[in-house]
Chain A
């Protein structure tokens, strides 16, 4: 097993998170370099994710690296029944680093154990997506000047949203106060409440989305999806409750920034886009710098 891999956000200590964020800031100043010159990165997307793949490929290209791989499994040997183990073993012989997206949970950890080179998890089903978390952290760090002692409000689907769970775990190093705003059906899972209780992390749960956000430093919006509800009537009841509109931001803090992992559907009204507190488009760009820093760390560069 290669301990240079990044599979889960828990693989990074607090110090490593801060080190990667500092490095991301350097890449933001000078995105183009030749750190990856002569290196080959395998980009294995067993399921399509254009957004994440383009972000990684941009990061690799800006560092002067070459990319091999596939963009979805229908064009690869996977459809011929090859195991993940065999694909990973074969590819890791060719390259210096593997970036992998796979629909099966735990696939990235397993790949990191059979691969001879570090593996960066670009999403393994509903489990982990640590590079998204690092770009979220970088966005928070950049806009607030610190990660310490912030009021983080998370809104929407807090039950299934893996970005919410990973961000929660990562922010736990920095003495946050969490506010969770979600319908009962999509509340934050018990396992995370136990974790926060054990670690003395302050949190509050709300079902109403109203002026309590006036205390927020960060508003992290997620999508409430119809297919998460067993009862369609329950969805109809809540579908318009967790939508952020521009007039709700009137009395919020000046330093408030609104984040969203994208793609958005209707959970942030279009009139918010022009508000200087809207940060979700810049957030996506931060992903390139965060991924450059993660790649550099994985390869000891």
Chain B
């Protein structure tokens, strides 16, 4: 049955399928993972039905296998995302996205008086709570909670 579901977009021979992305964040996920600048064949589907998310998106990237710290960057906006690693049209491994310990250059500090919102400074956060994800700014030391996380 699983294999059939994957066909909602189109099957790939080898690569990675990222499932359960909130539909509204599809393009941000593409951005964070740099898929807009890669040579691999990338297909995606959006606004698919999902029991957990309402509307979800799926991305399939041929011939691409992510390092954990690379993929974990998307946990900020897609905490429920699941990865299917495909080899020879078969799902050989499933992974869930985990929150990283540090977040660099992805999120915006919610403190308007923070130097990162005044000058061109790359944001840096420590993840102090994983669920729900809570960030502490390396610069102003203020907390940005999951409700206020804004992706740059």
- Could you list which residues of chain A lie within 8 angstroms of chain B, going by C-beta atoms? 8, 83-85, 103-107, 109-110, 124-128, 191
Question: Could you list 9 A-B pairs, sorted by A, with CB under 8 Å?
Answer: A85-B119, A104-B115, A105-B141, A105-B142, A106-B114, A106-B121, A109-B115, A110-B115, A110-B119
Q: Contacts A85-B119, A110-B121, A191-B143: A104 and B138 contacting too (C-beta < 8 A)? A: no
B140 contact set on A, CB distance < 8 A:
105-106, 124-125, 127
What size tier do the contact residues of chain B reach? 10 to 19
Q: Contacts A83-B119, A85-B119, A104-B118: A109 and B138 contacting too (C-beta < 8 A)? A: yes
Does any Cβ of A come within 8 Å of B116's Cβ?
yes
Decide: B113 and A126 in contact? CB cutoff 8 A: yes
Q: Contacts A105-B142, A106-B140, A191-B143: A125 and B119 contacting too (C-beta < 8 A)? A: no
Nearest CB in chain B: distance from A282 CB, A: 30
Bound-complex Cα distance A105 to B112 (A) = 9
Bound-complex Cα distance A128 to B141 (A) = 9
Decide: B113 and A104 in contact? CB cutoff 8 A: yes
Q: Which of A103, A106, A127, A128 has the most CB of B within 10 A?
A: A106
Nearest opposing residue in chain B for A165, CB measure: B141
Q: Is the interface of B mostly helix, strand, loop or mixed?
A: loop
Decide: A8 and B141 in contact? CB cutoff 8 A: yes
Does any Cβ of A come within 8 Å of B111's Cβ?
yes
Nearest CB in chain A: distance from B141 CB, A: 6
Bound-complex Cα distance A183 to B113 (A) = 26
Bound-complex Cα distance A85 to B141 (A) = 19
* Complex interface residues of chain B between 93 and 144 (CB less than 8 A to chain A): 109, 111, 113-116, 118-121, 137-143
Decide: A104 and B143 in contact? CB cutoff 8 A: no
Bound-complex Cα distance A106 to B124 (A) = 11
Bound-complex Cα distance A200 to B143 (A) = 22
Bound-complex Cα distance A191 to B141 (A) = 11
A128 contact set on B, CB distance < 8 A:
141
Nearest opposing residue in chain A for B118, CB measure: A104
A106 contact set on B, CB distance < 8 A:
109, 114-116, 121, 137-141
B139 contact set on A, CB distance < 8 A:
105-107, 109-110
Decide: B141 and A104 in contact? CB cutoff 8 A: no
Nearest CB in chain A: distance from B121 CB, A: 6
Bound-complex Cα distance A191 to B128 (A) = 11
Bound-complex Cα distance A110 to B119 (A) = 10
**B14-30 interface code vs A (CB 8 A; 1 in, 0 out):** 00000000000000000
- Contacting residue for B113 out of A83, A84, A110, A125, CB 8 A: A125
Nearest CB in chain A: distance from B132 CB, A: 15
A83 contact set on B, CB distance < 8 A:
119-120
Given A83-B119, A106-B116, A126-B113; 16 other pairs, CB 8 A cutoff: A8-B141, A83-B120, A104-B113, A104-B114, A104-B118, A105-B113, A105-B141, A105-B142, A106-B109, A106-B115, A107-B139, A109-B115, A110-B115, A125-B140, A128-B141, A191-B143
B113 contact set on A, CB distance < 8 A:
103-105, 125-126
Decide: A105 and B119 in contact? CB cutoff 8 A: no
* Complex interface residues of chain B between 4 and 58 (CB less than 8 A to chain A): none
Decide: A105 and B114 in contact? CB cutoff 8 A: yes
A104 contact set on B, CB distance < 8 A:
113-115, 118
Nearest CB in chain B: distance from A210 CB, A: 33
Bound-complex Cα distance A105 to B141 (A) = 8
Decide: A84 and B141 in contact? CB cutoff 8 A: no
Q: Which of A8, A125, A127, A191 has the most CB of B within 10 A?
A: A127
Decide: B143 and A105 in contact? CB cutoff 8 A: no
